[in-house]
Amino acid sequence: MKPIHVALLLLLTASIVVSSLDAREDLGVDSATSMGQPNGTPLEGFELEQRTEELSSLMRCPVCQGLSIADSPTLLAQAMKSEVRQFLAAGYTEAQIFDYFEQSYGEFVRLEPKAEGFNLVVWIAPVAALLLGLALIVHRLRSSKKETTPIGEATPVDDLDSYRQRVKQEVGS
């Protein structure tokens, strides 16, 4: 085979590969329209895998019971995790990625709700309940202390007289 033929063959192969890649990139959802330009740095290698796991562990699997997409074996969760990886590799930030999934699944997709608005109840209520419980315990302890007879104070003798009389009667002495 002549060099010119080899060169033509290589050129043809390259053009086929490029056109197939282009076709693949064109297919699918147009996420760039809703996400805009990436605001972060494209990740790769170990850092990409690590951030993918981190973000996936914070994202709820829509078809599971309280599982993250990192922990779920479902196809939907795996597809979502794959998208997270693609977005991080493209340079999208955590906020941009969460916003994207929230557009379709709502805030439900966050395993940890945002600490703002009505959601603050979720963050404040446990602390408030704990403080309220402590206050109640302290209050009960103080009031029961007032009612208890101080240690060392003798019980009035008169209180026992009725019992002594009853013992004597029952023993028959």
Partner 1 sequence: MNRTVVLVGALIVTPLIVVLALSFGKDPRAIDSPLIGKAAPTFTLRDLDGDVVALEELRGQPVVLNFWATWCQPCVVEHPLLIASANRYEGQVRFVGVIYQDEPQDIRRFVSQRGSWGPSLIDTDGDVAIAYGVYGAPETYFISSDGVIAEKVVGAIRPDVMASILGPLL
> Binding to partner 1 by residue 31, rule CB under 8 A?
yes
Contact yes or no for 40/93 (Cβ under 8 A) = yes
Instruction: By CB under 8 A, name the one of 19, 50, 57, 103 that touches partner 1.
Output: 103
Smallest gap from residue 145 Cβ to partner 1 (A): 16
Using CB under 8 A, pick the residue from 62, 67, 111, 119 that binds partner 1.
62
Take residue 125 and report the two structure tokens written for it.
Answer: 């209520």
Residue among 62 and 91 whose Cβ is closer to partner 1: 62
Long-range pairs for 152-161: beta carbons < 8 A, 24 or more residues apart: none
Compute how many other C-beta atoms are within 10 angstroms of the C-beta atom of residue 68: 19
Q: C-beta of 139: minimal distance to partner 1 in Å?
A: 7
Cβ proximity of 88 and 97 under 8 Å: yes
In 3D space, the residue among 105, 17, 16 whose CA is nearest the CA of residue 61 turns out to be 105
6 versus 136: smaller Cβ distance to partner 1: 136
Window of 5-13, 50-58, 100-108, 164-172 that interacts with partner 1 by CB under 8 A: 100-108
Asked if 80 touches partner 1 (CB under 8 A), the answer is yes
Per the CB < 8 A criterion, the answer to whether 68 and 54 are in contact is no
**CA–CA separation, 46 and 57 (whole Å):** 17
- The residues of the shown chain that bind partner 1, judged by CB under 8 A, are 26-31, 33-34, 62-63, 75-76, 79-80, 82-83, 101-106, 108, 132, 136, 139
